[in-house]
Amino acid sequence: MGHYYSKNPDVESNESIIEYHLAPMSLILSTDNGVFSKGDIDFGSKVLVKAFLDDQHEVKSLLDVGCGYGTIGLMIKKHLPTINLHMVDVNERAMALAKKNAIQNGISDVKVYESDTLEQVTESFDAIVTNPPIRAGKEVVHRILENSIHHLNVGGAIYVVIQKKQGMPSAKKKLEAVFGNVEVIAKDKGYFILKSIKG
């Protein structure tokens, strides 16, 4: 399977470098075939990172679910270097790139490991961020939303980026059902940032 949400994408490796700027920070990121948004930083990911940083500066621990090659988690840690960052994915190529990208950007204290949604996550966090794998299907996306509450500290929040046409209304409804609250904290070009807080 060549999908970015498969464990071992069977497409030939062809690494390239892209840059991600969010003032005053920059990342030089290695990317490759078989990973999500290989050619450029996904616009939704950019919207999520900016919304999170505008909203949140007190977090001590963060989990990035479906981290890909590390775009979201690494840029947040670049801005908030003291956070304890965990990043999970199912794609082995993406995880290898995320580890490499942390090293080549001088970002330490990052744990990258395999987890199918949150199945292999054992800790709880102050915040969870996710650009969920829409193409893996609604059931997978909703499993991430449902299980996230079990991996948040009380008062912690999940931040989700999702396009209206790719299931935002049903994701919003699911978060409301799971957490008892949900708000849209940002939107840009059809991308919505949903936030729910664990009471």
Q: Has residue 10 been placed in a domain?
A: no
User: What's the pLDDT tens digit per position in 70-80?
Assistant: 999 999 999 99
DSSP letters, 109-145, are SEEEEE-STTTT--S-EEEEEE---GGG-HHHHHHHH
In a domain, 108, yes or no: yes
**How confident is the model over 133-174, as pLDDT tens digits?**
888 889 999 999 999 999 999 999 999 999 999 999 999 999
Domain count, the chain: 1
Give the domain extent around 40: 16-197
| Residue 73 DSSP class | H
Contact by Cβ (8 Å): 5, 135: yes
Alpha-carbon span 84 to 122, nearest angstrom:
14
- The answer to whether residue 140 is domain-embedded is yes
- The pTM for the full model equals 0.94
Does 31 fall in a domain? yes
3-state helix, strand, coil in the chain (%, to 5): 35, 30, 35
Domain with residue 116: its CATH number is 3.40.50.150
Does the residue 161 lie in any domain?
yes
